[in-house]
């Protein structure tokens, strides 16, 4: 992989890296320094049509490529990604500001999905029943659907593209990736390595842009399925428009994840987990804990939570002391600062205010320090809205039942966790909670790729989720065959054999 970053990012269409002919380019900046790293093109309509045509053409032979051949490309790809994990993480840290460890984790969790895609043969097994009627057998095959597209957010520029194209392609589809315009360099490097792994031309294309390019993909009749990850309003738009154009759509959206803390929980472990899961990655994770619900006596831990959080410092990814990096853009920082001011006006107790923080040597970074609000109530916008920054809200309740009601009344259902030493409390919580991913003494319960990423309610629009068996079903059609062979034909077959002899 070439580690250098070109001054203008090319498009990847039909196996070629080509310069866009567009006149509109978008700056991609380093969020810790404000420096422009490269420019990404707003792909023209003609170029988008070329990308779709290349994917459509490549599908003809790729769907007939033997499954083990497809799987071997994934094996090679996994090895290349591992070999270049650190180089990818450096690029990723430059364009997202994530700490180096976090950046390596972003790549690693994507590699795990590629490993899953390398096992595609067993995932593509159909079903059979012999003798469904006299001398009639019934069996099913799993076949690819065609050209698929993926639209990804800024906060995991390696992991989330890798949630999508390796599995879609291993299933026999071809793919068009439109990564976030805020950090599109890492996804280009992922495509470069995929090409090196032996992916035939046209199997994967990468185009750039934002709303206009996405809307074009949503409406094009040659695209059969759309995978989206991003914010709630955009997720709704993608789901509504994509399905209106009769496509299969899976849209993963925003979140407000609650951690419920019972007073019998292991105090030190719980507080460490609260801090890491709320302000880690500057709170820019869809599974970040943004609300901690303190049950009964656990409310006495507030000063300890405050002390632990006060020790956390943001900084540049090259400084190993940095606990997390900057927000992705000046606009994201402004938005988070706006919420901090609103929280104060709404009457929550601001125990830590990160809005004035600076980082030595990086005056132009989008820094926000750890921010803690106590006595937050459910009408406050800091409670109802996804802030997507290093801001944690503490809510007090008396009983576990109150905590369950609170979480179930929140429209989001991406992730939640309970910290307790009681198996009975944990079991009640896992059973009654209306959230798709539940952690028990685990703060951010992201399932490994042999399960699926199963957000619920306003955190997901669609039926079949990312990776695991569900993604294979999302990217395929089932063909069911009912077959009868006539005994009387056996005699003809035998005679034909005798003739050959």
Selected from 3, 211, 219, 399, the binder of ligand NAD by CB under 6 A is 211
Task: Report helix, strand or coil for 401.
Answer: helix
Q: How far apart are the first and last CA of the chain?
A: 57
Smallest separation (angstroms) from ligand NAD to the CB of 110: 13
Starting at the edge strand found earlier in the chain, the sheet holding 438-440 runs 349-352, 371-374, 391-397, 289-295, 257-261, 416-419, 438-440
Binder to ligand NAD among 255, 271, 274, 426 (CB under 6 A)? 255
Q: Which of 26, 151, 309, 410 binds ligand NAD (CB under 6 A)?
A: 151
Q: How far apart are CA 455 and CA 473, in angstroms?
A: 17
Q: Minimal distance in Å, beta carbon 258 to ligand NAD?
A: 14
Q: Binding ligand NAD by CB under 6 A: which of 99, 205, 278, 414?
A: 414
Beta carbons of 27 and 185 less than 8 angstroms apart: no
Report CA Rg, the chain. 25
CB of 207 to ligand NAD, least distance (A): 11
Residue matched to tokens 């405050």: 306
Window 356 to 395, contacts with ligand NAD (CB under 6 A): 386, 388
Q: Of these residues, 286, 350, 393, 410, which one is catalytic?
A: 286
Do residues 160 and 250 lie in contact, with contact meaning Cβ atoms separated by under 8 Å? Answer: no
Please tell me whether residue 150 binds ligand NAD under the rule CB under 6 A: no
- Decide: is 455 part of the binding site for ligand NAD (CB under 6 A): yes
Question: Residues binding ligand NAD: what is the number (CB under 6 A)?
Answer: 29
Exactly one of 32, 188, 214, 217 binds ligand NAD (CB under 6 A); which one? 214
Interstrand relation of 128-133 and 36-41 (parallel, antiparallel or unpaired): unpaired
The answer to whether the CB of 460 falls within 8 A of the CB of 253 is yes
Q: At closest approach, how far in Å is the CB of 217 from ligand NAD? A: 9
Provide, rounded to whole angstroms, the least separation between the CB of residue 241 and ligand NAD. Answer: 8
In the set 12, 62, 154, 317, which binds ligand NAD (CB under 6 A)? 154
| Residue 280 within binding range of ligand NAD, rule CB under 6 A | no
Residues within window 299-358 making contact with ligand NAD, judged by CB under 6 A:
none
If you ran DSSP here, which 8-state letter would residue 378 be given?
T
Point out which residues pair with 133 in neighbouring strands: 136
Among 47, 102, 106, 181, binds ligand NAD (CB under 6 A): 181
Of the residues 459, 462, 470, 476, which one makes contact with ligand NAD according to CB under 6 A: 459
Site for ligand NAD in 416-435 (CB under 6 A): none
- Structure-block tokens of residue 157: 């520029």
Residue 231 as a binder of ligand NAD (CB under 6 A): the answer is yes
Question: Exactly one of 11, 91, 253, 279 binds ligand NAD (CB under 6 A); which one?
Answer: 253
Q: Which residues, 6+ apart, have CB-to-CB distance to 459 below 8 Å?
A: 232, 252, 253, 254, 255, 286, 412, 413, 414, 436
Q: Which of 109, 208, 237, 247 binds ligand NAD (CB under 6 A)?
A: 237
Q: Tell me the residue number closest to ligand NAD, measured at CB.
A: 230
Minimum Å gap between C-beta 169 and ligand NAD is: 19
Minimum distance between the CB of residue 164 and ligand NAD, rounded to whole angstroms?
11
Q: Interacting stretch for ligand NAD, rule CB under 6 A, among 193-201, 226-234, 263-271, 436-444?
A: 226-234
Tell me which residue has tokens 């929550």: 348
Is 286 annotated as catalytic?
A: yes
Is 264 a binder of ligand NAD (CB under 6 A)?
no
In 3D, which of 308, 301, 315 has the Cα closest to residue 369? Answer: 315
**Tokens found for residue 139:** 């069996």
Sequence-separated contacts (24+) of 401-405 with Cβ below 8 Å: 402/295, 403/258, 403/260, 403/293, 403/295, 403/429, 404/260, 404/428, 404/429, 404/432, 404/433
Cβ 349 to ligand NAD shortest distance, Å: 26
106 binding ligand NAD? (CB under 6 A): no
Q: Is 93 in the site for ligand NAD (CB under 6 A)?
A: no
**Distance from C-alpha of 200 to C-alpha of 188, rounded to nearest angstrom:** 16
Q: In what order do the strands lie in the sheet with 136-144?
A: 128-133, 136-144, 476-484
List residues with catalytic annotation. 286
Residues that bind ligand NAD (CB under 6 A): 151-156, 178, 180-181, 210-211, 214-215, 229-231, 234, 237, 252-255, 286, 386, 388, 414, 453, 455, 459
């Amino acid at each position: 992989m070439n580690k250098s970053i070109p001054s203008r990012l090319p498009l990847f269409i039909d196996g070629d890296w080509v310069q866009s002919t567009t006149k509109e380019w978008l700056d991609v900046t380093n969020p810790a320094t404000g420096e422009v790293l490269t420019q990404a093109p707003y792909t023209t309509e003609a170029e988008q049509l070329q990308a779709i045509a290349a994917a459509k053409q490549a599908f003809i032979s790729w769907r007939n490529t033997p499954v083990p051949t497809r799987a071997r490309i994934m094996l090679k790809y996994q090895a290349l990604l591992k070999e270049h994990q650190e180089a990818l993480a450096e690029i990723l840290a430059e364009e997202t500001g994530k700490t180096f460890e976090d950046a390596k984790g972003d790549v690693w969790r994507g590699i795990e999905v590629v490993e899953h895609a390398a096992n595609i043969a067993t995932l593509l097994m159909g079903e059979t029943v012999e003798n469904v009627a006299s001398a009639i057998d019934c069996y099913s095959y799993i076949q690819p659907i065609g050209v698929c597209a993926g639209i990804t957010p800024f906060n995991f520029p390696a992991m989330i593209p890798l949630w999508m194209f390796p599995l879609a392609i291993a299933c026999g589809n071809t793919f068009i990736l439109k990564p976030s315009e805020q950090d599109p360099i890492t996804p280009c490097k992922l495509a470069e390595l995929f090409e090196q792994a032996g992916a035939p031309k046209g199997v994967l294309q990468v185009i750039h842009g934002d709303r206009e390019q996405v809307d074009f993909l949503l409406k094009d009749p040659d695209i059969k399925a759309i995978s989206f990850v991003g914010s709630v309003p955009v997720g709704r738009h993608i789901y509504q428009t994509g399905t209106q154009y009769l496509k299969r759509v899976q849209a993963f959206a925003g979140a407000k994840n609650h951690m419920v803390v019972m007073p019998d929980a292991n105090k030190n472990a719980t507080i460490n987990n609260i801090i890491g899961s709320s302000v880690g990655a500057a709170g820019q994770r869809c599974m970040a804990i943004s609300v901690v619900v303190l049950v009964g006596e656990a409310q006495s831990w507030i000063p300890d939570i405050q002390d632990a959080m006060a020790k956390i410092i943001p900084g540049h990814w090259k400084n190993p002391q940095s606990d997390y990096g900057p927000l992705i853009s000046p606009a994201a920082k402004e938005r988070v600062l706006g919420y901090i001011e609103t929280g104060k006006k709404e009457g929550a107790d601001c125990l830590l205010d990160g809005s004035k923080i600076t980082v030595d040597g990086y005056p132009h970074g989008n820094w926000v320090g750890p921010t803690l609000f106590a006595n937050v109530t459910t009408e406050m916008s800091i409670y109802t809205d996804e802030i997507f920054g290093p801001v944690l809200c503490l809510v007090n309740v008396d009983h576990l039942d109150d905590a369950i009601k609170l979480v179930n009344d929140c429209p989001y259902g991406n992730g939640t966790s309970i910290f307790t030493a009681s198996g009975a409390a944990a079991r009640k919580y896992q059973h009654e909670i209306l959230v798709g991913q539940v952690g028990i003494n685990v703060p951010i319960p992201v399932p490994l790729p042999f399960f699926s990423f199963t957000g619920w309610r306003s955190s997901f629009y669609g039926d079949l989720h990312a990776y695991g068996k569900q993604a294979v079903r999302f990217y395929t059609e089932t063909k069911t065959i009912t077959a009868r062979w006539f005994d009387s034909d056996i005699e003809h077959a035998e005679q034909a054999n005798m003739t050959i002899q």
